[in-house]
Amino acid sequence: MDQTLKEGQIEERKKRIFSGVQPSGNLTIGNYLGAIRNWTFLQDAYDCIYCVVNEHAITVRQNPADLRRQTYETLAVYIAAGLDVSKNVLFIQSHVPAHAELAWVLNCYTMFGELSRMTQFKDKSAKHSDNINAGLFDYPVLMAADILLYQADLVPVGIDQKQHVELCRDIAVRFNQIYPDTFTIPEPYLSKTGKKIMSLQDPARKMSKSDENENATVRILDSKDTILRKFKRAVTDSGSGIVYSEDKPGISNLMSIYSAFTGKDYPEIEAEFAGSGYGDFKMAVGETCADALAPVRQRFDELMKDKGYLESVAKQGAETASRIASRTLSKVYRKVGFVTF
């Protein structure tokens, strides 16, 4: 307890946040605007735990060497984007075995029908029809274990992951009804901007790390020239005028990106670019994006030259995460009747 508090006064506990990103491919501005950058705004007001979710990544086949490298890179991006290692717990999922252990218990309190309704499972099954494995089907239960292990109050997610958090809540409520006071029931935390960044080549689809069309995806670590080239080639709409509208998905997506980087709302953007053509607007968005990411890329390069530092962050984070996770797992094991020593 804070010794500066007056006698008898109780320090209010900060709400806890948990989230993570898969290290499967080079992270995009969708990962940055929809997740990682937003985390930096939360680190003073909340008790934050952020994980590199490498166990989730193997639901799709990975090259082992690439996965190891991308795991370090994802951790480096977290720090380069502004996550203070003294204010946040940063760790790698596979370093804390309690994630997989709790997932098995939660499997026994999750209904097959619930998992079969998950939209992301249907989408990924269609995309990876040659590898529809049990892990892909069970992905949301591992995600529930990630969240519930740390008694998280809030989970920053994009719209596409909101369904998984809702299932996590259902699992936690069901477990608590049988074994009261086990889990905190988490709430999804949705940011006001950059919730879902769409492909630059197909605005009807989410921007994806795995998109085979390189021009569709802007990556956090792309060079300025590469970023400008991709925005220059971005798909726009018929007609003219920089106006946010469902009838203009290409321009609306670019406006969403510009809004997320600048903090300007759509009427402000429309006024700023009144009379401008699509080409000028695309270059303005590209310049804004590249300038915002420049310090992140510079810090990332510095971090990747010091693997020892990244390993020390991951080790310290795993130790802290393990202490928190073990308390929850011990409680769960005791309640379901497992013998412990």
Q: Can you give the length of the chain in residues?
A: 341
Query: Annotated catalytic residue: which of 124, 230, 248, 282?
Result: 124
- Work out the number of other CB atoms within 10 angstroms of the CB of residue 335: 15
Known active-site residue 264? no
Among 195, 206, 248, 282, the one annotated catalytic: 206
Which residues in 187-225 are b (16+ Cβ under 10 Å) and which e? Answer: ebbbbebbbebbbbbbbeebbbbebeeebbbbbbbbeee
DSSP secondary structure string, 4-24? Answer: TSPTT--PPPPPEEEEEE--S
Of 140, 162, 65, 145, nearest to 97 by C-alpha is: 145
Neighbours of 322 (CB within 10 A): 17
**Residue ranges with strand state E in 158-303:** 187-189
Radius of gyration (Cα) for the chain, nearest Å? 21
Residues 54 and 97: beta-carbon distance below 8 Å: no
Asked about 230 being catalytic, the answer comes back as no
Q: Is 206 a catalytic residue?
A: yes
Distance (Å, rounded) from C-alpha 183 to C-alpha 186?
A: 9
Which member of 15, 162, 209, 335 is catalytic? 209
Structure tokens at 19: 């989230």
What are the start-end ranges of the E strands in 2-98?
16-21, 47-52, 88-92
Report the alpha-carbon distance of residue 318 to residue 95 in Å, rounded: 6
Structure tokens at 98: 């309690």
Phi, psi angles (nearest 5°) of residue 199: -60, 140
Other beta carbons within 10 Å of 70: 23
Written as one letter, the residue type at 87 is K
Question: Which of helix, strand or coil describes residue 51?
Answer: strand
Q: What amino acid positions are annotated as catalytic residues?
A: 124, 206, 209
